[in-house]
Copies of this chain bind each other. A is one copy, B any other.
């Protein structure tokens, strides 16, 4: 009887969990549809992406695709620069998309209030709907964070759904609906690519564990992944010196630092700017013996239409790069969670 009860309790819990999942999916869909309705209602003339650090880098992917595929001007700002610069174009025809993992980043919360006061349409992306950022913004797009739920409700899934739904309003194209539909495959692709790159990432950690500086290099949408990896993973979490070099800029100054013992992690992107990465790789491979390549063309894209794979490349890159940071962490014995300043003091 007791065991029967236990089974029953578990079943009820499972039903409840599934129901919460269904409710969450429904809520997420509603949130995005509300943004889409508001964008349609306002005749948006420009889009600002505003956040700090890794969140800013993630938002920058939105700016990349909007500038490439629509004629609506879009801009990226780190939150405090946004407030102090006070761009004159910002106003009632602006859409301002802000992002903070916890929703507590003070500069980003202030940026949301600042934009709202200017009459802009504000959208907060966060995992905490009760956070100050969400309270300061007109619309909320929530994402689940590592709670075992489907990736479509996670940070990449929710952000990509949002961006391509908005792009479909700004510059309608049937492919955006296909992207949103195929995002259901994201979870499976993250798993497959994790498996695909785990060994290489571990070898990277083993080989580069004694390095005090590792440059990153990329172009196009991928320069933002390089920026994140440099700022948040190498400098912040691993205390390794770095600089994210644009593959096109490499030849206009930075390449003179190249030498046989200077390490570079190069993201060979998929899409329009890949030739820039190839040119930089041709050079750096000649003069450095320490070049690691993450080739986005080599990712697993099972079930994704050919013409949509470049969009999924940018969505998958951060998950693959994370493995390379894990590799360094494993072999340096420096956990990615260690900080010397963050969370320990006021600043």
Contact = CB atoms under 8 A, between A and B. Distances in A.
Contacts of A88: 67-71, 171
Interface string A196-222: 000000000000000001000001100
A220 B85 CA distance: 7
Contact of A249 (B219, B231, B342): B231
Given A230-B243, A347-B251, A68 B85 contact: yes
Interface in A41-57: 46, 52-54, 56
A241 B239 contact: no
A30 to B, nearest CB: 30
Interface string A135-154: 00000000000000000000
A328 to B, nearest CB: 14
Interface string A66-92: 011111110100111100111111000
B70 A341 contact: no
A250 to B, nearest CB: 9
Nearest to A262: B241
Interface stretch (A8-16, A252-260, A294-302, A308-316): A252-260
B53 A253 contact: yes
A86 B84 CA distance: 30
| Interface footprint category on A | 35 or more
Given A53-B252, A252-B53, A84 B236 contact: no
A36 interface: no
Contact of A248 (B67, B80, B251, B287): B80
B258 A52 contact: no
B81 A253 contact: no
Given A85-B272, A213-B241, A243-B242, A339 B256 contact: yes
A341 to B, nearest CB: 6
A256 B273 contact: no
A246 interface: yes
A190 interface: no
A114 to B, nearest CB: 13
Contact of A213 (B52, B213, B239, B342): B213
A248 B107 contact: yes
A142 to B, nearest CB: 22
B341 A54 contact: no
Contacts of A187: none
Contacts of A240: 257
Given A70-B88, A236-B257, A256-B339, 19 more contacts: A52-B252, A56-B252, A67-B85, A67-B88, A68-B85, A68-B88, A71-B88, A78-B249, A80-B248, A80-B273, A80-B276, A81-B219, A84-B273, A232-B253, A241-B243, A255-B341, A255-B347, A258-B341, A283-B341
17 contacts: A52-B252, A67-B85, A67-B87, A78-B249, A79-B248, A84-B219, A84-B220, A85-B220, A85-B272, A232-B252, A235-B256, A236-B256, A239-B256, A239-B257, A251-B347, A255-B342, A256-B339
Q: Which 3 A-B pairs have the closest CB atoms?
A: A53-B252, A231-B253, A243-B243
